[in-house]
Amino acid sequence: MTQASTHHITRPLDPIAAAIVVVLCLSWGFNQVAVKLAIHDIPPLVQGAIRSLVASLIVAGWCWLRGISLFRRDTSLWPGLAAGFFFSLEFILIFQGLAYTTATRAVLFIYLAPFFVVLGGRIFLPADRFGASQWLGLALSFAGMLVAFGLPTPALDPRQTVGDLMMVGAALFWAATTLVIKSSSLNRVPAEKVMLYQLVVSVPLLAAAMLAFGERMTAVPSALAIGALAYQTVWVVSVTFVVWFAVMARYSANRLSVFTFLTPLFGVAAGHLVLGEPLTPAFAAAVALVAVGLVLVNRTR
């Protein structure tokens, strides 16, 4: 590995990149609210299949306008298919897991993903290992999740245990997607192509899951549901996900993954602003813990 490529693997985020990632996490926090707003008219797997299909067309059209080659031989096919497979399984498990466990428990188990990225990075990204202060920052950020959402109590219903395990599986597949992208030739191809691999593969898999679990729309969706789905499709998937993969190609995957702890906190804030959900005093403490953790993770060793 060359010195330049090693630098790209381990580089901490500069202030501009950090600001971009905060905006991405803010967008994803509002995405959680958008899913809730649409879910009564458009079931979750149906939402996933529609947004992957439409976003595929949007990103492909952008590539055509910009002259980005999508069919050049660049050894990215197999890792791209793997990333698409992991991406699909992640969302299938999240959408179905929410039918068995609570949203609060789901957040805590899904956000084990940064730990899986850091642990997997020791094998697949050996140049990007965390030091003691980075591990402390990671622990503090996760502690912020516990403060915000509470320590999960033992599951009393076996179905809840199944849902919890599905969320842990989703976290594993989220981490696997990150590691495949960062450690393979996908790290050297346009971010739009990285996104298209995941979208194109996920369309048939999400559609198959939708049919297998019997999800369907029974009436014409409301304007609010259509608008919420449009937000997910046009902004979140077609724009912010592509920007995320472009940033990932330039900076440390481990340090980036810790920033995602901001997403559920922004989701809570968005729920308060849009849905009128209450904020607890613990929320401010959670934000402080995550912020301190991010500073520690992104300190130059």
The rounded distance, in Å, linking the Cα atoms of 207 and 106 is: 23
End-to-end, the C-alpha distance of the chain in Å comes to 20
Residue range 235-257, pLDDT digits in tens = 999 999 999 999 999 999 999 99
Q: Give 122's Cβ-side CA count (13 Å radius).
A: 8
DSSP state of 239: I
CA separation (Å) from 71 to 55, 66, 67, 121, 242? 18, 14, 12, 29, 18
Contacts of 43 (CB under 8 A, 6+ apart): 210, 215, 216, 217
pLDDT in tens, 36-89: 889 889 999 999 999 999 999 999 999 999 999 999 889 999 999 999 999 999
Whether residue 225 contacts residue 42, with contact meaning beta carbons closer than 8 Å, is answered with yes
Q: Quick check: 10 pLDDT over 70?
A: no
DSSP 102-155: -HHHHHHHHTTHHHHHHHHHHHH-GGG---HHHHHHHHHHHHHHHHHH-PPPPP
| Residue for token pair 């999960």 | 152
Number of domains in the chain: 1
Q: Is the pTM of this model over 0.85?
A: yes
Q: Which domain holds residue 57?
A: 3-297
Confidence of residue 158 (pLDDT cuts 50, 70, 90): confident
- Rounded to whole angstroms, the Cα distance separating 88 from 210 reads 12
Tell me the two tokens of residue 49: 């299949």
Q: Give the pLDDT mean for 113-137.
A: 91
**15, pLDDT greater than 50:** yes
Q: Is-contact 124 183, C-beta < 8 A?
A: yes
CA 102 remoteness from chain centre = 19
Residue 4 is predicted with a pLDDT of 41
The contacts of residue 122 (CB under 8 Å, 6+ apart) are: 129
pLDDT of the residue at 134: 92
For residue 8, pLDDT beyond 60? no
Could you tell me if 176 and 86 are in contact, meaning their C-beta atoms sit under 8 angstroms apart? yes
In degrees and rounded to multiples of 5, residue 150 shows phi and psi of 90, 150
- Length of the chain equals 301
| Tens of pLDDT, residues 254-290 | 999 999 999 999 988 888 888 787 778 888 899 999 9
Q: Give the confidence band of 224 by pLDDT, cuts at 50, 70, 90.
A: very high
User: Pick from 248, 290, 253, 254: which is nearest to 269 by CA?
Assistant: 290
Distances (CA, A) of 284 to 17, 147, 279: 24, 9, 9
Is 149 in contact with 40 (CB distance < 8 Å)? no
